[in-house]
């Protein structure tokens, strides 16, 4: 399943740069409630909603005057995501190569009322190791936490207070992705960053040689297994 144009827009580098610039320019102040927050807690919001009819209009999508910076609570209120009338929940499987930008994408679209299942972040939370260092001693616990969260998503009812769910993973096999769609009623979002760019990001972001070699190995393995 191809990523839809609106989700694809939120992955674009020009938008990510503009969103960050708008958050910095806000000085940490929410445009709605006036509260002061760390800029990482703020979310850019298009005043004119993005649709399939206007997604190619840069005067709407990339116009800083059309973007207001909001805190989580105000962003939720604008989108009527928390406590909405029908309580409908959405599940998104965000997949792609290591270093493709999956976590960055989710950070830009998820709200504080959403669940994010990210095995890398789970592992980092339960041990003192650096990013990409995943000791065998803690893997069982990390996978157990992930599986608990997935079961929470699978059995969720509208009365659960969390709103949407984002499941982050590589999922190079089409069979595995189709299984996620069937099991969780999920929508697939493919962060389709090219292999060379993923490897470039690994060299730029991973300083320790051993960890960098491991990440590049994961990237190579992903592209060997990937099927559309």
pLDDT at site 81: 53
Does position 85 have pLDDT exceeding 50, yes or no?
A: no
Scored b (16 or more CB within 10 A) or e, 100-131 reads bbbbebbebbbbebbbbbbbbebbbeeeeeee
pLDDT at site 83: 46
Tens digits of per-residue pLDDT, 110-144? 877 789 999 999 999 999 988 788 889 999 999 99
pLDDT at site 84: 45
Higher per-residue confidence, 37 vs 228: 37
Average predicted confidence (pLDDT) for the chain: 89
Side-chain-side CA neighbours of residue 131 (13 Å): 11
pLDDT at site 159: 77
Q: How far apart are CA 36 and CA 208, in angstroms?
A: 36
Q: What are the Cα distances from residue 179, in Å, to 147, 166, 175, 176?
A: 15, 16, 6, 5
Ranking 9-18, 174-183, 194-203 by mean pLDDT, the lowest is 9-18
Segment 56-70 shows an average pLDDT of 95
Q: How far apart are CA 215 and CA 199, in angstroms?
A: 8
Residue 27 has what DSSP assignment?
Answer: T
pLDDT at site 116: 96
pLDDT at site 40: 83
Segment 13-24 shows an average pLDDT of 93
Segment 8-21 shows an average pLDDT of 89
Q: How far apart are CA 66 and CA 47, in angstroms?
A: 5
Tens digits of per-residue pLDDT, 189-205? 999 899 999 999 999 98
Helices 195-205 and 209-225: crossing angle, nearest 10°? 170
pLDDT at site 3: 58
Higher per-residue confidence, 7 vs 152: 152
pLDDT at site 7: 78
Segment 60-88 shows an average pLDDT of 77
Q: Show the CA angle centred on residue 208, arms to residues 206 and 212, nearest 5°.
A: 55
Q: How far apart are CA 138 and CA 160, in angstroms?
A: 29
Ranking 7-11, 25-29, 67-71 by mean pLDDT, the lowest is 7-11
pLDDT band at 86 (very low <50, low <70, confident <90, very high): very low
Segment 5-28 shows an average pLDDT of 90
Q: Which two tokens stand for residue 116?
A: 């994010």
Q: Are 102 and 94 in contact (CB under 8 A)?
A: yes
């Amino acid at each position: 399943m191809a990523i839809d144009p609106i989700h694809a827009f939120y992955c674009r580098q020009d938008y990510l740069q503009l969103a960050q610039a708008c958050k910095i320019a806000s000085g940490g102040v929410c445009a709605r409630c006036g509260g002061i927050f760390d800029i990482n807690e703020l979310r850019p919001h298009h005043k004119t909603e993005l649709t399939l009819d206007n997604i190619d209009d840069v005067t709407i999508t990339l116009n800083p005057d059309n973007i207001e910076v909001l805190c989580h609570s105000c962003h939720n209120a604008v989108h009527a995501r928390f406590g909405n009338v029908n309580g409908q929940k959405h599940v998104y499987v965000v997949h792609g190569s290591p270093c493709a930008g999956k976590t960055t994408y989710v950070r830009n679209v998820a709200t504080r009322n959403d669940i994010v299942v990210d095995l890398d972040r789970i592992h980092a939370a339960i041990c003192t190791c650096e990013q990409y260092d995943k000791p065998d001693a803690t893997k069982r616990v990390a996978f157990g936490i992930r599986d608990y969260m997935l079961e929470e998503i699978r059995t969720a009812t509208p009365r659960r207070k969390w709103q949407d769910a984002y499941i982050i993973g590589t999922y190079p096999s089409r069979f595995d992705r189709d299984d996620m769609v069937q099991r969780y009623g999920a929508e697939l979002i493919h962060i389709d960053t090219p292999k060379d760019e993923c490897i470039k990001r690994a060299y730029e972001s991973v300083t320790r040689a051993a960890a960098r070699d491991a990440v590049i190995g994961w990237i190579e393995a992903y592209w060997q297994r990937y099927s559309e």
